Structure 1
Amino acid sequence: MKRILLDTHALLWWLADDQNLGVKAREIIADPRNQIFVSAASTWEISIKRALGKLEAPEDMDSLVEDEGFLPLPISLYHGDQAGLLPEHHKDPFDRMLIAQAQAEGLTIITCDEKFPPYKVRLINASS
């Protein structure tokens, strides 16, 4: 069993059946033995970008995440502290939160973000 955290783009690619999401990543997400987590940071990022007109995405992410059988990952005070302590390799606050959550909870992140590798976090390339 793998414990996986989806980066926001990987979540959106999965929901849209986007071909940018690679075969290996799809197999991992689809495997019922794996626990797939979606962070509150991702749904927050999606709602902000949707409201600004920068992104077209479904509105009821809570229901969609539940329907997919994914597990919600709330943001804790500890996660907030850890995100603030991360080195400045990446300035995006949503991504920094995902990294902090993955480190704190022992999760592997499915992402294509090229700024994630300098952090001590396990990664799976979303395009592979």
Structure 2
Amino acid sequence: MVNVLLDTSVLLRWVGGQSLSDSAVGAIADPENAVFVSAATIWEISIKRSLGKLRVGNEVFDIDSDGFEGLAIDAADARLAGELPRHHRDPFDRMLVAQALARGLVLVTSDRRLASYDAKVLFA
């Protein structure tokens, strides 16, 4: 069993039926694995939709239908995200790294820069 955390682009590609690596699909689709979606991801999608930078339907927010679990942000996550080395400037990605580190989750991402952190990463 592996606990994975999807980054925003991976969630969007999964919901949109776009291709992901075989290893990412295997990890996400395996019923033995727990798959998490951070509140930061939902927030990022909402912001980009409201600014007209992203055109997706409401189904992207229905993470339960895919069997995914929501992951709340707590004060420790916020502090860790702020204290991470500046390998990456995107605050949403930094939050995902912090949550993955704090909870021992594997971060599923296409962003190679996130491998600069100590979090376990599975490339999508």
Give the drift of 1:59.
Answer: 2.4
The residue aligned with 1:44 is: 43
More helix by share: 2
Instruction: Work out the percentage of aligned pairs sharing the same amino acid.
Output: 47
The residue aligned with 1:14 is: 14
SS at match of 1:17: coil
- Counterpart Cα distance in 2 of 1:107 and 1:68: 18
Gaps of 5+ in 2: none
- Counterpart Cα distance in 1 of 2:73 and 2:100: 11
Gaps of 5+ in 1: none
CA RMSD of aligned residues (A): 1.0
CA displacement 1:8-34 (0-9 Å, x = unmatched) = 000111111102x12221111010000
The residue aligned with 1:96 is: 94
- Counterpart Cα distance in 1 of 2:69 and 2:60: 12
Q: How many residues align?
A: 124
1:28-39 equivalences in 2 (<5 Å): 28-39=27-38
The residue aligned with 1:86 is: 84
Per the normalisation by structure 2, the TM-score is 0.96
1:40-79 equivalences in 2 (<5 Å): 40-59=39-58, 61-62=60-61, 64-79=62-77
